[in-house]
Structure 1
Amino acid sequence: MSMLSDYRDWAAAQSAPRVSNWLREISEPDWSATVAHPLFDALAEARLAEPDFAAYMVQDYGFVDPFTALIGHAIGHAPSMHDRVVLGQFMGMLTSDENSTFQRTFETFGVADQAADYLPETRAFQQLLVDTGMHGGYAEMLAVLVVTEWLYLGWATRITRAEGLHPLYAEWIDLHDSPAFQEFVAWLCRRLDEEALTLGDDAFASMAERFRDTVAKERAFHDAVWARVTTR
């Protein structure tokens, strides 16, 4: 049995099957553990101390450069101008609004982009982004983008914000629960669904494994950050 056959068996029992939903299911329990991570509750409830928030943002900022490069590769591999436009607009947001949030966080809390202090889990995720951009096909690139953005949408729309939350904490949440971001994530999932169904057995399996590996590395990253800030 191939992974494509597994998907087709699963799809036969669904009223409205989607590859993205199947991929999420086969990525449990890591998917739900990441969306429900205590790091995000502590952030939203103002229980994450400012130095710990800054430390988390330093680690997360480690993904911005390779992630931007991955989007560039995806734009180059995209099969249509429409895909290039949507991905290009997202890259614009990433390199302007989101990058600004990082930089103002570092300035406000007196920290720097401490690349030498990246956790092993951060470096492993960076390497996944680089490998996908250099060696993955368009569907694999979409799979990684779907995971990274859908998981962040998941936690940002799940948490409950405390009153009087620090503006930079709130801004970080705003970036990941806005209507525009929700629309982009929906587009990514739809495009992955469409592209995945054009793949043969081997390419489909590579795409699915890339999806699951990305989810596992997201969980490992957030577990490692949480362990660091709770033992400071």
Structure 2
Amino acid sequence: MKSKYLAIALLLTITTPLVAQTINIKFKEIHNQFYGKWPKTITFVQKTNMYRADSLFKSQTWYEASIFPNLFRIDLGDIKDGNAIIYRGDSTYNFRKFQKMKPNVDPNILVYLLGGMYFESLEQVNKKLSIEGFDLSKAHKSNWKGRGIDIIGTTTADTTVSQLWYDSKDHYLVRMIQQKPKMRLECQFENHQKTGKIWHEGSVKIFVQNKLVQTEEYSDFKINVALNPDFFNPDKFGSWHWMKQ
């Protein structure tokens, strides 16, 4: 059984290369605020609702953990069932009933935007996000849901191009639009809370082709948790789990 999340992850692998541009001063400011300050690890519990034809068809609890900048794991439902996804850099490993499937190529841009990029230099970030279709040389200001925002990726109110929306005051990501040929992916990040020196989203809405396909609600968000690297090793799946510690 394929999760809706897997379909969304697949969409993230289709990229539109761009030549790296001069970085806008506003994005430099955002990156500088969290560069070197982001927690090395996070864990949280996620209530996931999946939609089809505008109707809810499935709800499930997921257990998620990350060692930044590029290790991330999702346990889909009860951890005793052995259904999970492990992201290691550009590779994705899927498990069904503890059985490892054939790995896929998937850099998972969301893991990068929501933490990974704060472990890399501006030049590295610019290169990676340019490949993903974001032009960091362009920006403008606007308002959304009663707060000022900085929109990176366009100088006009054009939502048909890839762009990143950041809260102007606290610099957390509130919206991502990734526009590809014949495909539009949008994520809206809400209910932000401050933990340590960072802000993290409390809920997410995911749209494909302007249709809501998934909502996520986070709880029990923790930072700098001691995580065994084996937890992200596909060859040692099932040997250790942070939920059991």
Please state which band the TM-score falls in when normalised by the shorter chain. under 0.3
TM-score (norm 1): 0.27
Of Structure 1 and Structure 2, which has the larger fraction of its residues in strand?
A: 2
Higher relative contact order (CA 8 A, sep 6+): 1
TM-score (norm 2): 0.26
Of Structure 1 and Structure 2, which has the larger fraction of its residues in helix?
A: 1
